[in-house]
Structure 1
């Protein structure tokens, strides 16, 4: 499938498990050049109780997490959708990746919550730029549940389609994001950082 645009896009949430992966799947199907990441210290997903999350290191394969949860409580993790989520994830890539550990270059970094946005902007501001290329960091708040992740993926996909149609992204992005905010009734944060 040919790319719909040459924009290099990263979608970033906390654990690279739900929101970023749902958007990754959507954008990849549409033909975007997309990767996904998390910014957290560890990969945290719901456990048997609110205060007992399952915690894994970044780099642990989706397959291993799937098998671990299946062994711990197959019916719970089938019911809450985690096994389905992990099944989707392992078809897209092998394991959750941490944004702060990648050397990839992107034109647009899309974050799924404000604290992730803050972490990405801070990281980009503190690292030495490679070639001073402009990178747009855009946040759209998406609650971390399966239904919202799907809605969020639609919204991110719509926004990326709008951005892909620009002649000059750097000069047109503010107008595109303003139009997207009005259309989606979601507020957007936007910063420029350098790669």
Structure 2
């Protein structure tokens, strides 16, 4: 598993649907740059491309390891294996297994008491699920910034988005008085320089 000495003042979570591609590439990049970061999936189960849209590969969060998923995909038909290779899925799984054991579900770990200062999502539907979950949990003590960067769910899309997520997080780290008083200007500057819309809101634990 990868590890890095944290240099960040905040705790970060990266969240996509399956904790397979977008959140994992951002997890890798932030971790390698010294951030205190974890990653999660917001769906109920891990769904990956399969024989057809109606026949995906489905796995449990917090149980099936990335290495087990890799073995399962490699054991399938020759045509499917070729398709997985072309999509970069095997490369993703090898990368993921170096970071942590298995995909983890956001809601499960939030209910176990995990808390974060900044939560970066990579799909608006995921952003909505995270915000709804935090608001349903209630609380008024700890503020969490939830940000969404819409990212195409492909190997290339995640590789392009992760450095952008890093640059956003670095901006937050540079806030002398905390992000709460500067978030509007930070997001405006980020959108101007990156050409990428950043949807955000503040929730409380």
TM-score with structure 2 setting the length: 0.91
Query: Separation in 2 of the partners of 1:45 and 1:110?
Result: 21
Which runs of 5 or more structure 2 residues have no equivalent in the other structure? none
- 1:132 is paired with a residue whose SS is coil
Query: Separation in 2 of the partners of 1:29 and 1:191?
Result: 27
How big is the shift at 1:173? 1.6
Establish whether residue 30 from structure 1 lines up as the match of residue 33 from structure 2.
yes
Which runs of 5 or more structure 1 residues have no equivalent in the other structure? none
Establish whether residue 182 from structure 1 lines up as the match of residue 192 from structure 2.
yes
Establish whether residue 8 from structure 1 lines up as the match of residue 11 from structure 2.
yes
Q: Which residue of 2 aligns with 1:158?
A: 167
Query: Separation in 1 of the partners of 2:156 and 2:74?
Result: 22
- 1:48 is paired with a residue whose SS is strand
Q: In the alignment, is the contact (CA less than 8 A) between 1:111 and 1:139 conserved in 2?
A: yes
Establish whether residue 145 from structure 1 lines up as the match of residue 154 from structure 2.
yes
Q: In the alignment, is the contact (CA less than 8 A) between 1:19 and 1:142 conserved in 2?
A: yes
Establish whether residue 110 from structure 1 lines up as the match of residue 120 from structure 2.
yes
Q: In the alignment, is the contact (CA less than 8 A) between 1:111 and 1:137 conserved in 2?
A: yes
How many pairs does the alignment contain? 194
Q: Which residue of 2 aligns with 1:90?
A: 97
TM-score with structure 1 setting the length: 0.95
How big is the shift at 1:4? 2.9
Establish whether residue 173 from structure 1 lines up as the match of residue 183 from structure 2.
yes
Partner deviation per Cα, 1:135-193 (whole Å, 9 max, x = no partner): 00000100111101111101101111111111121111221111001111111111110
How big is the shift at 1:34? 0.4
- 1:28 is paired with a residue whose SS is helix
Taking only aligned residues, the RMSD between alpha carbons, in angstroms, comes to 1.3
